[in-house]
A and B are shown apart, each in its own frame.
Chain A
């Protein structure tokens, strides 16, 4: 690091430009300046692709339909009064929370099963169970859509074989909701499984041995050793999945396009319908911004818990 005394005397006396060049060099050599310069490309990327669109979306959401007049929070107030949008809020929460809870539970069970498969077989099963997560979502949802199809439904074919009447999978509100959630669970569970499996593998065997000697049975080991040791991974996985599931677009768009009677719309599909299909971009922007406070609230509490527990456990 250059200190003040190391500036050559010639520079000091070489007039104004010389002094400027010297101070520029000092500025460039400061540790914080170098750090800032190294981070600059990333900062620019984030500013261009995250900060600017976010601010622009907020700006858009405060304009009228023709985008000529500033209407403040008018769009938000309008949306909240609309019955369809209330349905969207309900459906989004139902879709995200139910899916995440189911994914977490099934992923947890699968991870445990996987953890207990010995040796090479585990890798094969792990690979197979990851398949749903690897296939492009739009593609696999199309397959599901075909299986739910009123005329060609594979499920109905099976039901009919057993003498049960066909089910209008995507034609009735609550069943359609169930279907969208099922597809999301099918797609997202492998992510939970792989995260939980990693967490399970990181719990030292000796803790289980100590618990066994302390007198714990399998269930007690689960509640007193496994779950506390996995709490952070569970929290982060749930938060991450909650964000992704809340913002889900593909499944609902392909499976039901929001129908029947707007009963399966989530924020993203409704924003698409209002903003792009109906041409009211400010209203669409306002719609998609509703997700932000809900997710920020969840993220705050989850991450606070994670930080506390990390301090607790990290030895």
Chain B
């Protein structure tokens, strides 16, 4: 078990393309950290640099207190689970899991003990003699995890391990990965582009974009206090609504944000001081669909009524998504399924402005 650190790590490919632009990251012992971001954001490259499969252009990577820049993958004492499992097709499940131990010249009894133990944890006991081709996607994924577990390495690395599975199996395997981590407590770095996977698995989430780290935090921190517009839009499903607005004085002397002439939202007093310096400036208002819901007569402080023309209604069972257009900008609300909403009719909604975010239109920083 070990802590992992990246210090100003840069990866530049031939031709000067920078995939990773100087990231700093500290991962504590036993921690489960998820790197998340869109395709090409540098998350897989970062993981592969930690694994030693990709050379570092500059910077330092530390594992368990040692700089490992020039240490080959086999001497880094890490284990990795690949997206397409990378099982050896000519070896049985047992041999696949035992391969790393055999190469490290473990005694035969010890190999058998460890493989049996991992097979028990992952429910692979009846499959040990099979070849990978005789296994389903989920089973192969478990074998790939078993191969990582038996080595008892310092760090587990997962490179989008669930993206080849169907939706149902993905949820199931997600739980299993979390369970395995709870059992073995090995430091884990997990790469995914799926923010739900990131939120459900991680102790801390690292949101990456364009080779930079946008924000590092617990899932709750990222959800409630996004640092940038990118994080605010990436975390949460459906994505946060972004509306261009202007901060101005309200009629009662308080602060308000004006979205359109008819939509002027009073800023809750708790936020007034923070937003005061942006008065008369164009900003972006961020409000999650779950903070825009059916109208309640008895509101709470910070709740404001907004009436919007319905465009599309999407009933989901336990909730209904209603889509609108405000000055050509799409807006989504998450309402109670009992709410009556018809296309082209005005729907009264509550905006919970205690949960609003204000962002700088150029820098994207949340203020």
A177 to B196, CA, bound (A): 70
B224 within 8 A of A: no
A213 within 8 A of B: yes
Interface hub of A204, A213, A313 (most chain B Cβ within 10 A): A213
A53 within 8 A of B: no
- Known contacts A210-B80, A212-B74, A217-B74; is-contact A229 B90 (Cβ 8 Å): yes
**Bitwise interface map of A from 224 to 240 toward B, beta carbon under 8 Å scored 1, else 0:** 11001101000000000
Q: Which residue of B lies closest to A214 (CB)?
A: B100
A313 to B90, CA, bound (A): 6
- Known contacts A206-B84, A228-B88; is-contact A213 B133 (Cβ 8 Å): no
**Bitwise interface map of B from 41 to 72 toward A, beta carbon under 8 Å scored 1, else 0:** 00000000001110000000000000000001
Within the complex, the shortest CB–CB distance from A309 to chain B, in Å, comes to 8
A229 to B132, CA, bound (A): 14
**A213 contacts B73, C-beta separation under 8 Å:** yes
**A206 contacts B82, C-beta separation under 8 Å:** yes
Interface hub of B78, B100, B132, B147 (most chain A Cβ within 10 A): B100
**A216 contacts B133, C-beta separation under 8 Å:** no
**A314 contacts B88, C-beta separation under 8 Å:** no
Checking B79, B89, B90, B132 against A213 with a beta-carbon cut-off of 8 angstroms, the contacting residue is B79
**Bitwise interface map of A from 304 to 315 toward B, beta carbon under 8 Å scored 1, else 0:** 000001001111
**A215 contacts B104, C-beta separation under 8 Å:** yes
In the bound complex, residues from chain A placing their C-beta under 8 Å from that of B51 are 209, 213
B272 within 8 A of A: no
In the bound complex, residues from chain B placing their C-beta under 8 Å from that of A213 are 51-53, 73-74, 78-80, 100
Looking at chain B, what size class is its interface with the partner chain?
20 to 34
B212 within 8 A of A: no
B270 within 8 A of A: no
A220 within 8 A of B: yes
**B72 contacts A207, C-beta separation under 8 Å:** no
Q: Which residue of B lies closest to A311 (CB)?
A: B133
**B88 contacts A212, C-beta separation under 8 Å:** no
**A312 contacts B133, C-beta separation under 8 Å:** yes
B275 within 8 A of A: no
B346 within 8 A of A: no
Total contacts A to B, CB within 8 angstroms?
69
**B89 contacts A215, C-beta separation under 8 Å:** no
**B133 contacts A209, C-beta separation under 8 Å:** no
**Bitwise interface map of B from 274 to 297 toward A, beta carbon under 8 Å scored 1, else 0:** 000000000000000000000000
**A212 contacts B53, C-beta separation under 8 Å:** yes
A301 to B185, CA, bound (A): 50
- Known contacts A212-B53, A213-B51, A215-B74; is-contact A312 B89 (Cβ 8 Å): yes
- Known contacts A215-B74, A224-B99; is-contact A315 B133 (Cβ 8 Å): yes
Checking B74, B78, B80, B86 against A207 with a beta-carbon cut-off of 8 angstroms, the contacting residue is B86
Within the complex, the shortest CB–CB distance from B245 to chain A, in Å, comes to 48
In the bound complex, residues from chain B placing their C-beta under 8 Å from that of A215 are 74, 100, 103-104
In the bound complex, residues from chain A placing their C-beta under 8 Å from that of B82 are 206, 209-210
In the bound complex, residues from chain A placing their C-beta under 8 Å from that of B84 are 204, 206
In the bound complex, residues from chain B placing their C-beta under 8 Å from that of A209 are 51, 53, 73, 80, 82, 86
In the bound complex, residues from chain A placing their C-beta under 8 Å from that of B80 are 209-210, 213
- Name the interface residues of A177-212: CB closer than 8 Å to any CB of B: 204, 206-207, 209-212
In the bound complex, residues from chain B placing their C-beta under 8 Å from that of A204 are 84, 86
**A224 contacts B88, C-beta separation under 8 Å:** yes
- Known contacts A213-B51, A213-B73, A213-B74; is-contact A315 B86 (Cβ 8 Å): no
**Bitwise interface map of A from 271 to 315 toward B, beta carbon under 8 Å scored 1, else 0:** 000000000000000000000000000000000000001001111
- Known contacts A206-B84, A220-B103; is-contact A214 B89 (Cβ 8 Å): no
Checking A216, A225, A229, A315 against B74 with a beta-carbon cut-off of 8 angstroms, the contacting residue is A216
A224 to B88, CA, bound (A): 9
A209 to B144, CA, bound (A): 13
A313 to B131, CA, bound (A): 8
Within the complex, the shortest CB–CB distance from B102 to chain A, in Å, comes to 9
In the bound complex, residues from chain B placing their C-beta under 8 Å from that of A225 are 88
A213 to B154, CA, bound (A): 12
In the bound complex, residues from chain A placing their C-beta under 8 Å from that of B73 are 209, 212-213
**B72 contacts A214, C-beta separation under 8 Å:** no
**A210 contacts B86, C-beta separation under 8 Å:** yes
Within the complex, the shortest CB–CB distance from B182 to chain A, in Å, comes to 23
Within the complex, the shortest CB–CB distance from A315 to chain B, in Å, comes to 4
A157 to B103, CA, bound (A): 52
A212 to B151, CA, bound (A): 14
**B133 contacts A214, C-beta separation under 8 Å:** no
Within the complex, the shortest CB–CB distance from B89 to chain A, in Å, comes to 4
Interface hub of B78, B86, B103, B132 (most chain A Cβ within 10 A): B86
Q: Which residue of B lies closest to A314 (CB)?
A: B133
29 pairs, A vs B, C-beta closer than 8 Å: A204-B86, A206-B86, A207-B88, A209-B51, A209-B73, A209-B82, A209-B86, A210-B82, A210-B86, A210-B88, A211-B88, A213-B53, A213-B79, A213-B100, A214-B74, A214-B100, A214-B151, A215-B103, A216-B74, A216-B103, A217-B74, A224-B88, A225-B88, A228-B90, A229-B90, A309-B90, A312-B89, A313-B89, A313-B90
**A residues with CB within 8 A of B:** 204, 206-207, 209-217, 220, 224-225, 228-229, 231, 309, 312-315
Known: A210-B88, A314-B133. 15 other contacts (CB 8 A): A206-B84, A207-B86, A209-B82, A210-B80, A210-B82, A210-B87, A211-B88, A212-B53, A213-B53, A213-B73, A213-B74, A213-B79, A213-B100, A215-B74, A216-B74
Nearest 5 pairs of A and B residues by beta carbon: A214-B100, A206-B86, A210-B86, A215-B74, A228-B90
